[in-house]
Amino acid sequence: DLVPVITIDGPTASGKGTLASTLAASLGYHFLDSGSLYRVAALASLRQGVADTDGPGIAALISKLRLRFDGPRLFLDGEEVSDQLRREDVGSRASKISALGDVRAALYALQVSFRRPPGLVADGRDMGTVIFPDAALKVFLTASPATRAERRHKQLISKGISSNIDDLRADLEARDARDRTRAIAPLQPAEDALLLDNSAQTVDESVAQVLGWWEQRT
Is position 45 an interface residue for ligand C5P (rule: CB under 6 A)?
A: no
Is position 38 an interface residue for ligand C5P (rule: CB under 6 A)?
A: yes
Peptide bond into 118 cis (omega under 30): yes
Annotated binding-site residue? 117: no
Residue 53, H or E segment: none
List Cα–Cα distances, 51 to 3, 63, 86, 207, in angstroms: 38, 17, 20, 40
Residue 106, H or E segment: helix 101-112
Number of H helices, E strands in the chain: 9, 8
Is position 125 an interface residue for ligand C5P (rule: CB under 6 A)?
A: yes
Annotated binding-site residue? 147: no
Min dist CB 175 to ligand C5P, Å, is 5
Is position 39 an interface residue for ligand C5P (rule: CB under 6 A)?
A: yes
Strands (E), 36-136: 67-70, 73-76, 79-80, 120-124
Q: Which of 7, 21, 95, 198 binds ligand C5P (CB under 6 A)?
A: 95
Min dist CB 35 to ligand C5P, Å, is 2
Min dist CB 215 to ligand C5P, Å, is 26
DSSP per-residue letters across 130-194: II-TT-SEEEEEE--HHHHHHHHHHHHHHTT----HHHHHHHHHHHHHHHHH-SSS-S---TTPE
Is position 91 an interface residue for ligand C5P (rule: CB under 6 A)?
A: yes
Q: Which of 126, 132, 138, 143 binds ligand C5P (CB under 6 A)?
A: 126
Annotated binding-site residue? 57: no
Q: Which of 4, 124, 128, 145 binds ligand C5P (CB under 6 A)?
A: 124
**Contacts to ligand C5P by CB under 6 A:** 12, 34-35, 38-39, 91, 94-95, 98, 124-126, 175, 179
**Feature table: binding site for ATP:** 10-18
